[in-house]
Structure 1
């Protein structure tokens, strides 16, 4: 039985939001536009930039909840709690909020979910570059649906993922959070993630809007100086796809400034493009303390009230993780007539619409009824999905026939700092790397086999020895002698090098862990060089969050394997590829550079950005191109056909090709379609991905792969900065890589 119009479930979510808005005081409205992070004030260390500074003097939860509350911040993700403990904590906080505020409106609870639900004991899936390496949007959608199901079961309503930043410089620490360097691949897989998460009733949050990955010198939070064409043609398309095709409910601003305008105060971006052009009608939430950074980092606001006014006018609806700038100082500006209360009403209406969509305004909603204390966050279903993603994500870059290791060699030397470290498989937003370093007594919180453990199980008749050789990041060579001795005595050496994810300089990859160049961290390059001088064949396995320059070792290794932080089942997946039980089928979502200083560069470059043809002594040609990946079987392409030689600028063309498995093993091929604008009014990429398809084929089996290509896929931003489908010749390429 309803007692208020806003509780009437027969009305639309927007109508209910407007009805509730009409009953709120200004204090109650502003309370809806902020969050509370209970327990944050007692946490040591940072999982968000300057958390230690902003958490000082935090307002107690019950005081924050007096007039209501928009969001609950990271009830599960702040300090280690079991699913049952977290669910009970969620119930307690919501009950206190409902019992304290005048209308008893529950908060919307959000959590991180980039590599799975970021909480203690939950499955850690592969990092986003690994999703991208699968070129499999259906599998990514299934993973996201599983993540969303787990989160919704314990009362979480919004997930802070996916990251849709297109990589422009591989030195950036957050490359491991991205889906690579191609906007079409990023948009397709990111939209699949959005659909999956939201199918489970959890709203996805697109981040970071926009330009974050294009920061100067790849430094976290550094200014972004790109032109409007690069913004429109490279940076924005994944966000537009996820809004228009994925129906994303939330967007988070980037910390950076674009040509001097901080994204958090950029009305042209947050309202003009996002809402007026694309029709987005969800909520824009601030990245943590991004509005306060308008005062402290960008210095475009004189105080927190002014910062709040700028962000609100630009289009940020909700301040996370708390309500520092959308509080009393902003209320004073409204009372003085310097800020229009209609801006507050606009933002509150959007948030309340979201709450209505999630059932939080329903008359029968109860804190207890919204959670399931018995949910299993590391279930067999989750593990199966994590394993499927990991197996499909491993990329075989090079192979002289040493792989697969079948029949199993008598003695295998497993060398390198990532050889026996399960944390190497997990990204910086996984709970074991994100929070648990502050709780060393708790271990990892779930079972994760290192490659050493997995390979010993895989090669049960081989002797597998382990010697790290050196640490991940320190330039310590004291372990070289032992590692080289093990390698000399072995039939084959598997050298496992790469990253250890962390936060703000605590790792070699992750948020705030930017790289000066693309050499392997620490002494790992030196270790590889020493190993490759031996007579023992060396298989190089790179487990990392970014591609590293391997040109110094090109042609010397027996095989090279790339794994982008493949998650809790990464050890079994890699061991399976090495043994031959798994036929590799991953493809590079970003190219592997030849030289460590060849940055910034991606495969998306105009002719002048490629081979210098003697004009410069620096050659940016990659060691392994975008889309590259080998298999244990062979595939042949023929009968490429285009059903029309000309189409109208609003037309469509069908492109087909026949693919045959000519090898002796079943395998999965990733067929890739590329376009080239032969002549245009502005410079265009030499080649750009326009479609892809995974095809599973038995030996001798053939399949015809079809791409339906609309002329819109050839569109670009013209000389007048307007989007155009320009008449002219378009080259069509189909193959295994760029």
Structure 2
């Protein structure tokens, strides 16, 4: 057997397995397979089960690591990793217990929800996806990994790639929208950003794709609710981003809360073994979501021992928080309900990850206090976050070129989100220092310069209902509810509006009004803010709506009455600067929607790549026709379609050109279009390519995104954009779940959003 030499800066004499000390600075470790096998052979059953246990730390306070209950379990070999512990000093103390006090001295994994940045926070994932820029998205994950690893973290529970077509579901904010093709590209970019294909580096961390599977399609949009769909929809519409993450080399997978085919995902062997392992070839380990095993009891799958065995036999390797494995697996082995081979395999996969991360070579690899002081929330990282966030903003309306604002005169900034720095990072921003986030008020004042006067009034609370506001501003994201009456707040707002040239209304959702366990039945802006907005419009002053949201909202009234709407999502720790950069035109908005905005919640679920019925909607003007698949009380088209987003400039598309009208399976076609900037500003445009398969053995969507390019075009200039289409772009899963392309006619559309009719036709032949 070839022996692998690994040179360390520091030698560790406390490892008692599979190594031979050569000098104080050199350690010899066997190759991974042999090393891990040797270690498993030395482990007791209790120690093996302990590696499968992932408790939360409760964020052990400095100096108390040795006296906590978690510390005792670590010393006894009953913990494989911890999460929700922050800072190098704390992590180093806890790791020291594992590698110096436990019998086999196995280092711990340290995980955290590093979802869209660490202390330097980027836009929420739905916002990041709206950049349509894979390099920027990868870079955001790379910076997040750099900062998290500098603070002791070596594992993130990201990316979340669940496809969702229902904005009632709060966690739509945490994903990349409704499209499997775009979602797959983002999944790849995020995994690459976190792991950089080299986990041996100290500035990369293990990625975890979640939630496997179908979590984004719960009935009624209610979080944790039942999911039920056909296999053909799973494979064509919901599975692709998970598989893309697997193909990109993601190191771990998190199981979802929902059931799949009547069996909770956490105990679903078809999902975790047949699909994930056998079909897709996943080599990493699977962790449950928070208490996912225990929750199968309430699903009606049996007692804790039964569901723990179910999870283990299904292909789950690590139990987050619930301790079902810790408390019951030994008994299940004795009763032959779980095999020791299954447990050994689970332990092997977890130890493999620790080896790949270099923790056996240096358990303190992520515990460099100098890095913690110099690589977190740096000026350069914040500058990149500011630039990336500006690319995520979506201009929804801009009548008479009201935007960009001039850096002169007086601006009235009004609304409960105007001076709300705690909310700028959005949901799932657990490491963010909210005190250092930049509010819109701060950003607007600084970017406006000395020739512009900015006046501020809150105008209203988030909502009239104080209890509702409290639910929507949890985890320290308070809006500092104003005790004045609604009339008093409005009077102050109208007074400064009267003194101003233009009104910027900062309205919408608070950070925790979307996110986990934040499902909504009403997708409108809360009523108190809608009333404020109407009062501001009645002043006759021009109004710009700066919209904060973590999901598509119903904005029919706002779209009809407000001259300019800029959707900012939650843009991260530098949000105030990024939004101001766009409002004043220092950055031309280029974001495009990755989720359809409905006209009414009654249209939900609504998405661009729908299928025709046998009685398709023929009327394009929104008029009702009897005996068609339409609504009797609402128009059928969305308010804003998938891929939509305006610019301060205008882009003109020439007709699409195609290199040939027939294609064989071993050939490729070139699709090209010229795009001209006919406006007055330099700008960026996302060129989108969609394909329609006109006839199939199963029904096919009216359009499917199959390509996109984001380009910069200076005013007055024209660029030619070329796409290449091959047989893989035409494949889909048929009724037998075979991934095939069928001969026949295809339409190719290229344009500015999913509504484009700029198309060519070709035929796939033998």
Q: Same fold (TM over 0.5)?
A: yes
Structure 2: how far apart are the matches of 1:155 and 1:532? 50
Of the three residues 732, 738, 755, the one matched with 1:716 is 732
**Post-superposition shift, 1:116?**
1.2
Residues 373 and 560 of structure 1: CA distance in aligned 2, closer, same or farther (over 3 Å): closer
Is 1:14 matched up with 2:33?
yes
1:190-228 CA distance string (max 9 Å, x none): 210110100242111001111111001111101112222
SS at match of 2:662: coil
**Post-superposition shift, 1:462?**
2.6
Structure 1: how far apart are the matches of 2:222 and 2:616? 24
Is 1:207 matched up with 2:207?
no
Of the three residues 428, 440, 457, the one matched with 2:446 is 457
Is 1:355 matched up with 2:345?
no
The residue aligned with 1:54 is none
Structure 1: how far apart are the matches of 2:208 and 2:47? 25
Of the three residues 542, 547, 569, the one matched with 2:547 is 542
Structure 2: how far apart are the matches of 1:629 and 1:373? 39
Structure 2: how far apart are the matches of 1:123 and 1:307? 39
Is 1:698 matched up with 2:714?
yes
**Post-superposition shift, 1:29?**
0.6
The residue aligned with 1:286 is 288
The residue aligned with 2:394 is 395
**Post-superposition shift, 1:150?**
1.7
Cα pair 1:13 1:356 within 8 Å, conserved? yes
Of the three residues 640, 644, 651, the one matched with 1:624 is 640
The residue aligned with 2:266 is 264
Residues 247 and 534 of structure 1: CA distance in aligned 2, closer, same or farther (over 3 Å): same
The residue aligned with 2:568 is 563
Cα pair 2:150 2:366 within 8 Å, conserved? no
The residue aligned with 2:3 is none
Output the aligned Cα RMSD. Answer: 2.4
- In structure 1, the gaps of 5 or more residues are 43-57, 77-85, 434-443, 503-507
Alignment of 1:357-436 (within 5 A): 357-362=356-361, 365-366=363-364, 372-408=371-407, 410-431=409-430
Residues 10 and 38 of structure 1: CA distance in aligned 2, closer, same or farther (over 3 Å): closer
Cα pair 1:170 1:547 within 8 Å, conserved? yes
Structure 2: how far apart are the matches of 1:612 and 1:548? 26
Residues 663 and 555 of structure 1: CA distance in aligned 2, closer, same or farther (over 3 Å): same
**Post-superposition shift, 1:529?**
3.0
SS at match of 1:213: coil
4+ runs of 1 displaced by more than 6 Å?
none
**Post-superposition shift, 1:547?**
1.5
The residue aligned with 2:538 is 533
Of the three residues 498, 507, 517, the one matched with 2:508 is 498
Of the three residues 239, 245, 253, the one matched with 1:236 is 239
Alignment of 1:605-620 (within 5 A): 605-608=610-613, 611=617, 613=619, 614=625, 615=628, 616-617=631-632, 618-620=634-636
Of the three residues 61, 72, 81, the one matched with 2:71 is 61
The residue aligned with 2:5 is none
Cα pair 1:497 1:542 within 8 Å, conserved? yes
The residue aligned with 1:197 is 194
The residue aligned with 1:82 is none
Alignment of 1:135-174 (within 5 A): 135-174=132-171
Cα pair 1:423 1:500 within 8 Å, conserved? no
Structure 2: how far apart are the matches of 1:562 and 1:368? 38
Of the three residues 586, 590, 594, the one matched with 1:585 is 590
The residue aligned with 2:702 is 686
Residues 235 and 102 of structure 1: CA distance in aligned 2, closer, same or farther (over 3 Å): same
SS at match of 1:431: coil
**Post-superposition shift, 1:607?**
2.2
Residues 711 and 368 of structure 1: CA distance in aligned 2, closer, same or farther (over 3 Å): closer
1:562-595 CA distance string (max 9 Å, x none): 1111111211111121112211111111122222
Is 1:129 matched up with 2:126?
yes
**Post-superposition shift, 1:404?**
2.7
Structure 2: how far apart are the matches of 1:498 and 1:285? 35
Cα pair 1:391 1:584 within 8 Å, conserved? yes
Is 1:115 matched up with 2:112?
no
Q: Count the aligned residue pairs.
A: 691
**Post-superposition shift, 1:269?**
0.7
The residue aligned with 2:257 is 255
Cα pair 2:416 2:462 within 8 Å, conserved? yes
Residues 137 and 180 of structure 1: CA distance in aligned 2, closer, same or farther (over 3 Å): same
1:686-707 CA distance string (max 9 Å, x none): 1121111111122223322222
Q: Using the TM superposition, name which of 105-114 and 528-537 deviates more.
A: 528-537
Is 1:635 matched up with 2:651?
yes
Residues 650 and 254 of structure 1: CA distance in aligned 2, closer, same or farther (over 3 Å): farther
Of the three residues 218, 222, 225, the one matched with 1:219 is 222
Cα pair 1:412 1:492 within 8 Å, conserved? yes
Cα pair 1:150 1:375 within 8 Å, conserved? no
Residues 12 and 604 of structure 1: CA distance in aligned 2, closer, same or farther (over 3 Å): farther
Residues 277 and 370 of structure 1: CA distance in aligned 2, closer, same or farther (over 3 Å): farther
**Post-superposition shift, 1:263?**
0.5
Residues 650 and 352 of structure 1: CA distance in aligned 2, closer, same or farther (over 3 Å): farther
Q: Using the TM superposition, name which of 10-19 and 422-431 deviates more.
A: 10-19
**Post-superposition shift, 1:40?**
5.9
1:627-676 CA distance string (max 9 Å, x none): 11111122222252222322234543222222222223211111111111
Residues 495 and 289 of structure 1: CA distance in aligned 2, closer, same or farther (over 3 Å): same
**Post-superposition shift, 1:174?**
1.0
- In structure 2, the gaps of 5 or more residues are 1-10, 21-26, 62-67, 197-202, 466-484, 620-624, 755-766
SS at match of 1:233: helix
Structure 2: how far apart are the matches of 1:336 and 1:160? 34
TM-score, structure 1 normalization: 0.89
Residues 104 and 684 of structure 1: CA distance in aligned 2, closer, same or farther (over 3 Å): same
**Post-superposition shift, 1:134?**
0.6
Structure 2: how far apart are the matches of 1:696 and 1:631? 12
